[in-house]
A and B are shown apart, each in its own frame.
Chain A
Amino acid sequence: MEEILRVEHLHKKYDDLGVLEDVSLSVHKGEVIAIIGPSGCGKSTFLRCLNGLEDIQDGCVLLHDEVINPCDDVKKLQKSREKIGMVFQSYDLFPHKTILQNVTLAPVKVQKRAKAEVEAEAMELLTRVGLESKKDNYPRQLSGGQKQRVAIVRALIMHPEILLLDEITAALDNEMVREVLEVVLALAKEGRTMIIVTHELQFARAVADRVIFMDGGNIVEEGAPDEFFDNPRTERTRKFLDNESFTVK
């Protein structure tokens, strides 16, 4: 399969504090990668480095063999962000715009696509996530789970080649987690390329082709989900999974 994204020896520091140390990764078309790890292990920061929201101190991120981080060319960075969709933990919908406007803004303004075509596609996508009736509502009128589904639609309508999901259920009440994860699962099944940072281990196992365990700014272990969860190779991973299994029912 064609390689979409490659990370080479990425180093990220805040002041003198090393957050990511020598992380490398290759992402192929259609692959779903789940990144798990304890809080503060650098997994969200890693995701944010992939679309240039964080600058990096060493190494590089390549999209189709073109370096996009570090990148001094603002236009090039903006172009590459159109191909890398991202959904954040929460509160990232635009509060002053309706649901439909939230979804259509970037394709119309950034990609200069025709409004009618974009709106039709927006309605199609909103229908897929069961929110077509909310198109004229404002984000404040939606539940957390509904907002996250809109945020996914807003990323999808840009036709990204890869989707980054940064703990998108972490701020949600339990009963809303499922409706969001189901949308993600459906995307995985249709062959979308995704990198998913998550705390939901069961979900990671169900959705991912490859699971990556990060700790202390490094990739400690990676592997196919069944092997990863059933036969972790490192002591550190085993400990983490043991601890988590007390909290995960």
Chain B
Amino acid sequence: MEALGFDVLLKGNNMLRLLQGLGVALKISLISVLISIGLGIVFGMLVSMKKPAINAVFNVYLEIVRIMPQMVLLFIVYFGTTKSLGLNLSAEAASIIVFSFWGTAEMTDLVRSAIISIPVIQYESSAALGMSRLQTQVHIIIPQTVRRLIPLSINLITRMIKTTSLVMMIGIVEVLKVGQQIIEANRKASPNAAFGIFATVFILYFIACWPISQLSKYLENKWAN
């Protein structure tokens, strides 16, 4: 235990602090995920209508999000807005903005592709049975869209949780930062702490993301067409 540096976990309230750090990471990701899913569904439906103006705007937005490293976005929003716009955003608010900005773009794209992947024949055979547009959406299109969407969006959610480790760069004390602090504080007493602490951080991320990705696998099998 000592050689690998796991003993440090049991000193003081180190383990509790790590868990609190994980809590901070999960809180930021949960709020961002909820915002991204909500906005992504609305925007995705708009984009799937194939109005040229809307799609042009969305494509620029999606490209920006894909090209720009999340960390640069974080710096722009956190440090940039304070200086140039005089906004005094908290670090947490800045990270939620950045993660939602990113997540919404990706979610919109997922919703769009799920909607347009439903074959035209599904609309036509519903119509041929005398169903109204609303009935077709409620009974045929939306259930199929959701089934295609859930595995994809779960993948996005786990990526968002993982990427919250970046927010320590703007001073948020999340699980990785707590880990670093513990290692620093115990440099003399437990020089091997680095391995034990980072391994624990790894396991904590795993515990947070694994059930989600299992759920996705389960749903994928259940709904396989």
Residues of A that sit less than 8 Å from B by CB:
51-53, 74, 78-79, 81-82, 84-86, 88, 91-96, 105-106, 109-111, 138, 140, 151, 154-155, 158
A138 to B222, CA, bound (A): 11
Sample (22) of A-B pairs whose CB atoms are under 8 Å apart = A51-B128, A53-B128, A74-B132, A79-B130, A81-B130, A86-B128, A88-B124, A91-B119, A92-B124, A92-B125, A94-B125, A94-B139, A94-B140, A96-B223, A105-B129, A106-B131, A109-B135, A109-B139, A110-B131, A140-B225, A154-B129, A155-B128
Contact indicator B225/A95 (Cβ below 8 Å): yes
Total A-B pairs in contact (CB under 8 Å)? 65
A232 to B139, CA, bound (A): 48
* Chain B interface main SS type: helix
Residues from chain A with a CB closer than 8 A to the CB of B129 are 81-82, 105-106, 110, 154-155, 158
Closest partner residue, chain A, to B224 (CB atom): A140
Proximity bits, B209-225, A CB within 8 Å = 1, else 0: 00000000000000111
B67 on the interface (CB 8 Å rule)?
Answer: no
Contact indicator B122/A158 (Cβ below 8 Å): no
Residues from chain A with a CB closer than 8 A to the CB of B225 are 95-96, 138, 140
Cross-interface CB contact of A95 among B127, B128, B130, B144, cutoff 8 Å? B144
Residues from chain A with a CB closer than 8 A to the CB of B143 are 96
A155 to B125, CA, bound (A): 10
8 A Cβ contacts from B107-161 to A: 119, 121-122, 124-125, 127-132, 135, 139-140, 143-144, 147
Given the known interface contacts A88-B121, A110-B135, the answer about A96 and B147 at a Cβ–Cβ threshold of 8 Å is yes
Contact indicator B128/A91 (Cβ below 8 Å): no
A41 to chain B, nearest CB (A): 20
A82 to B121, CA, bound (A): 17
